[in-house]
Copies of this chain bind each other. A is one copy, B any other.
């Protein structure tokens, strides 16, 4: 099997959530795995000098509309704008990173459960307890996950991920690498598919 696709995302990113619903099937079609990389958009935005989409005049209103329309367009009906948005996602990201070190497959299921909690069930996963409950629903040990959130080694691992993201040129979510080739946004999935199919264009 060829190298996995890298999937970088923030749990608070709506297009990141929509991408999370499509990325595994897209990769599997070309016999690829997916390496899930939770990270923190806030740190990236600070570096780049951008802000969350919805904070901009005009662009914010458009984006709220486009997010819902894009969900429909991609046939993802399990979607609602959360009551609180955007949110800090350190707790969710740390749980996934911590679990990834010992059981990557379970870490992916935890990530999917965390996305679902926030984007389908309107659970505020910025709360460590809520994030733990979502991950536990996927089979993660709750007490160990709760401890991981405050573990200095896990905190440090997330900081390293964010630094690696910046060093790789990541500035938004979702951000995908296919054999090193960077693709930003759910709306590059058509280009990703052709890239996987042809090896480049």
Contacts and interface: CB of A to CB of B under 8 A. Distances in A.
Of residues A66, A70, A194, which shows the largest number of chain B Cβ atoms within 10 Å of its Cβ?
A: A66
Contact of A50 (B59, B65, B171): B59
A182 B63 CA distance: 10
B201 A73 contact: yes
Interface string A67-85: 0011011000000000000
B187 A73 contact: no
What DSSP secondary structure best describes chain A's contact surface?
helix
A191 B47 contact: no
A185 to B, nearest CB: 7
Contacts of A187: 185, 187-188
B191 A58 contact: no
A179 interface: no
Interface in A151-201: 166, 169-172, 182, 184-185, 187-188, 190-191, 194, 201
Kindly name the residue among A62, A166, A188, A201 whose own CB sees the greatest number of chain B CB atoms within 10 A: A62
A170 B57 CA distance: 10
B69 A191 contact: yes
Given A56-B48, A57-B47, A190-B190, A62 B169 contact: yes
A168 B140 CA distance: 48
Question: Nearest 8 A-B pairs (CB), nearest first?
Answer: A187-B187, A58-B171, A59-B171, A58-B169, A72-B201, A48-B56, A73-B191, A48-B57
Given A58-B170, A72-B201, 7 more contacts: A47-B58, A48-B56, A48-B59, A50-B56, A58-B171, A185-B187, A190-B190
